[in-house]
């Protein structure tokens, strides 16, 4: 039943099958919207949805959250990276379809 519905209402059956997990893809995701490069990707065995928060640096404000990149990753690892004027926080999830779209900017709380 859910399988038939999934064709029409894909995201309404997030737990129906381990083989049909879909993640959101976006090159520039800002304020809950995809500004550039919107799409989706299908998870293969071992893969997870990934969200990478990109922080940019200015001398006036220091590091500030700029945007998020969404994609699939296999394997996916949560990590933080600071290199020069670039700071990236990476998150993984596979709890439901498109779960990575909810991860943008979570890290802002612990960036100072």
Q: Which residues lie near ligand NAG (CB under 6 A)? A: 10, 22, 28, 39-40, 56, 58, 66-67
Q: How far is the CB of 40 from ligand NAG (least distance, A)?
A: 4
Chain residue whose CB lies nearest ligand NAG = 56
Q: How far is the CB of 1 from ligand NAG (least distance, A)?
A: 19
Q: How far is the CB of 21 from ligand NAG (least distance, A)?
A: 11
Tell me whether residue 59 or residue 110 sits nearer to ligand NAG (CB atom).
59
The position carrying tokens 């990753």 is: 73
Tell me whether residue 3 or residue 39 sits nearer to ligand NAG (CB atom).
39
């Amino acid at each position: 039943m859910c399988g038939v519905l999934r064709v029409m209402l894909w995201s309404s059956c997030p737990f129906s099958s381990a083989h049909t997990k879909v993640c959101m893809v976006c090159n520039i995701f800002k304020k809950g919207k995809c500004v550039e490069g919107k799409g989706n990707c299908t998870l293969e065995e071992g893969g997870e949805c990934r969200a990478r928060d990109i922080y940019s640096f200015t001398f006036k404000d220091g590091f500030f959250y700029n945007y998020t990149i969404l994609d699939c990753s296999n394997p996916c690892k949560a990590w933080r990276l600071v290199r020069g004027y670039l700071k990236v926080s990476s998150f993984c999830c596979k709890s439901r379809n498109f779960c990575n779209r909810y991860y943008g900017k979570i890290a802002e709380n612990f960036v100072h």
